[in-house]
Structure 1
Amino acid sequence: MPSFTANDGVTLHYSTFGSESNPPLILLHGFTGSGEVFKRNTPALSQRHFVLVPDLRGHGASDKPKAGYHVARLAMDLKNLIDHMRLEERGSSGVVDAIGASLGAAILWSYAELFTPRIFAHLIFVDQAPLQNYLSDWGPAFGNRGMNDAAALASFQQTLATDAAAAHRGTIASCLGYRSHPVAGDPGPESEEWKADEAFFLGEALKGDAWWYGKLMADHTANDWRSSIRFNFGGKSGSKVKVLVVASERSGCFPAEGPMHVVELVNGGQGGSRAKGVVVGWGGHWCYWEKPEEFHRLVEGFLGE
């Protein structure tokens, strides 16, 4: 697995798939995952794209320093990857596509705030609301179903400290639609699919440091990206990037209205057309893992516009 050195000296690993002559497509995984969570997606997506899949700092094979547990630091790591791969040499604007799943979406919002979104042509945000915590104007209809206040964060951090595997199993149960919102025909606890998925995601999560994960979640849940998204992707910024928001009616993390609010923010609440949203019923928070074929059709249809 190739690697590069971030500007603070941390070594970050990534994988590539497909021909470098194809348009670049960056896949950003979520909290406690790794680039491996996209292994069901890269064979199809790399047919038409040069796919880059980093392991975020603190995750997977990348270094795990006792620092850098901020979304903004992860956005800087993304900038370092783009520079390392010399993607800006392809053009100053609209030359890269990216998919941000969960935390990965927040990294893209932070990147846009720090560096502008001009390098991107298409961005896909998968099941991430612009704010997780509940506020007076942002409650259960939009925010995170479980991780939404100081008490919930403290409980999660305590579980990470005393039984990290239990904390990660709770995350898995929320993120797989067939477990958070089961329907007839879904795999059950005794099925091989249930057991294999849990073993895989638990194994990836345990590669990281529980203390660091707790610090990152504190930063992640505290960020309110609503005004930033409106400014950096709205008309005033001059951004022309096209946005697709994918939400799930079977997500154990967010009600669909939370992620879908990003569409309104990007379009300025004025019926614009640069952002559109899709609410899927064929998977949960990790819909790209549960139903990769359906996800690929959605992605390719959007990127081909």
Structure 2
Amino acid sequence: MDYEYYTANDGCTLAFQTSLPIGAKAVRETRYERCILLMHGFSGSSTYFTNNFEELSREHCVVAPDMRGHGRSGRPLGGYHVARLAADLRGLVAHLRKSVNTVESVKIVPVGCSIGAAVLWTYVELFGCDDFSGFVFVDQGPLQDRSPFGNWDASKSHLGCYDEQTMQAAQREWIHSSANAHKDLVQSCLGYRHAPEPDTDDLSDERRQRDEEFFTRISAQCDQTWLAKLLADHTRYDHREAIADIVLPTLVMAGRRTGCFPLEGMKETVRQIESKRPGTAKMSIFYSGHWLFYEEPERFNKEITEFANACFR
């Protein structure tokens, strides 16, 4: 995987990793025609997918952006909105298609993890589905806050950040106690931390420490105040109606031991799509937590490859 860069329509420089060279360095390679686009979560980066790049790139071109404010991408003062991230994604899609002139067409299946899923739902609301061949949404509910609309209560909303009070408490921690926020994120997102099962979680202290350092180091790269502002926009965004407009094959992945959303909340994505187009969406429940692509990479890579191949036919 190599880093490349493009410029968003507001001048922000955005980074992404790619398994195949693009632009003037592009070669004649059929894998360009089949692109898997990996979208990381809140405070993450493309590095999250270190356990997935090699296997997924065997059959496909793999692209993984760093969202603005994350990883190696620019640090703007504004732009802390899910809609801005969706506009950035549209710019990346256009950039990729323009930069790969060795094939006639590039088909894309995006995999949105956590806030990456929210970015894709916003993309559908703003720009439709035409740029993609299918969707994968990983461990994200369509609304974080509790809401009187649609009986969206504690059985479906985010487990820890679900109203104004809890959101502001999370903001204060990200701004004023970011090291604790990073560790709390690890605690809730790794299944063996959030819901340990001693009989099956045979992990060494070295492995546990290595995992914590990996994720906290990535979160520390971000501007913490900017992240706190993004959180406010993200947690209130209700994507349910937009999800119902998805017309493409959809795979929803969820972690049984996630510390972020109840399974009932994540099942809503399948229900919304199936309500209009039966047979379009399906769900896969993993044994691990929110970062299931990291904890169960072999299964994740296999299911993504099989789903993408079906979408690209």
Give the TM-score taking structure 1 as reference length. Answer: 0.92
2-structure distance, mates of 1:294, 1:169: 26
CA displacement at 1:60 relative to structure 2: 0.4
Indicate how the Cα distance of structure 1 residues 91 and 120 shifts in structure 2: closer, same or farther if over 3 A, else same. farther
Question: Does 2:21 correspond to 1:16?
Answer: no
**Equivalent residue letter for 2:14:** L
Aligned residues: 294
Q: Which residue of 1 aligns with 2:283?
A: 277
Contact 1:18 1:47 in 2 (8 A): no
Match of 1:291 among 272, 290, 296: 296
1-structure distance, mates of 2:104, 2:235: 34
CA displacement at 1:31 relative to structure 2: 0.2
**Equivalent residue letter for 2:152:** W
| 1:205-220 superposed matches below 5 A | 205-220=219-234
Match of 1:79 among 69, 85, 90: 90
1-structure distance, mates of 2:175, 2:140: 25
Indicate how the Cα distance of structure 1 residues 187 and 64 shifts in structure 2: closer, same or farther if over 3 A, else same. farther
CA displacement at 1:21 relative to structure 2: 2.7
**Structure 2 stretches lacking a partner, 5+ long:** 22-28
Q: Which residue of 2 aligns with 1:112?
A: 124
Question: Does 2:207 correspond to 1:193?
Answer: yes
Indicate how the Cα distance of structure 1 residues 86 and 304 shifts in structure 2: closer, same or farther if over 3 A, else same. closer
Please give the secondary structure, in 1, of the residue aligned with 2:134. strand
2-structure distance, mates of 1:21, 1:65: 36
1-structure distance, mates of 2:267, 2:254: 7
Question: After TM superposition, what 4+ stretches of structure 1 lie above 3 angstroms from structure 2?
Answer: 87-92
Give the TM-score taking structure 2 as reference length. Answer: 0.90
CA displacement at 1:162 relative to structure 2: 1.4
**Equivalent residue letter for 1:172:** V
Contact 1:187 1:193 in 2 (8 A): no
Please give the secondary structure, in 2, of the residue aligned with 1:125. strand
Q: Which residue of 2 aligns with 1:168?
A: 182
What per-residue deviation string (whole Å, max 9, x for no partner) do you get for residues 53-72 of structure 1?
A: 11010000101111100000
Indicate how the Cα distance of structure 1 residues 91 and 112 shifts in structure 2: closer, same or farther if over 3 A, else same. farther
Question: Does 2:30 correspond to 1:30?
Answer: no
**Equivalent residue letter for 1:44:** E
Please give the secondary structure, in 2, of the residue aligned with 1:85. helix
**Equivalent residue letter for 2:47:** E
Question: Does 2:183 correspond to 1:177?
Answer: no
CA displacement at 1:185 relative to structure 2: 3.1
Root-mean-square deviation over aligned CA pairs: 1.8
2-structure distance, mates of 1:165, 1:269: 44
CA displacement at 1:187 relative to structure 2: 5.0
Q: In percent, how many aligned pairs have the same letter?
A: 39
Contact 2:267 2:283 in 1 (8 A): yes
Contact 1:129 1:254 in 2 (8 A): yes
Contact 1:27 1:100 in 2 (8 A): yes
CA displacement at 1:304 relative to structure 2: 2.6
Please give the secondary structure, in 1, of the residue aligned with 2:193. helix
Q: Which residue of 2 aligns with 1:43?
A: 54
Contact 2:36 2:308 in 1 (8 A): no
1-structure distance, mates of 2:157, 2:20: 37
Contact 1:100 1:125 in 2 (8 A): yes
